[in-house]
Chain A
Amino acid sequence: DSGVTQTPKHLITATGQRVTLRCSPRSGDLSVYWYQQSLDQGLQFLIQYYNGEERAKGNILERFSAQQFPDLHSELNLSSLELGDSALYFCASSVTGGPGGETQYFGPGTRLLVL
Chain B
Amino acid sequence: GDSVTQMEGPVTLSEEAFLTINCTYTATGYPSLFWYVQYPGEGLQLLLKATKADDKGSNKGFEATYRKETTSFHLEKGSVQVSDSAVYFCALRALGGSQGNLIFGKGTKLSVKP
Q: Is the CB of A48 within 8 A of B101?
A: yes
Q: Which residues of A contact B32 (CB under 8 A)?
A: 99-101
B68 to chain A minimum Cβ distance, whole angstroms, is 15
| 8 Å CB interface, A48-107 against B | 48, 55-56, 58, 90, 92, 94, 96-107
* Contact between chains at A31 and B100 (CB < 8 Å): yes
B43 near A108 with CB under 8 A, answer yes
Pairwise interchain contact A90-B93, C-beta atoms closer than 8 A: no
The tally of residues in B whose CB lies under 8 Å from a CB in A reads: 26
Range of interface residues on A (Cβ < 8 Å): 20 to 34
Decide yes or no: A48 and B45 within 8 Å by CB, A42-B106, A43-B89, A100-B51 being known contacts.
no
Q: Lowest 3 A-B CB distances belong to which pairs?
A: A56-B99, A101-B51, A43-B104
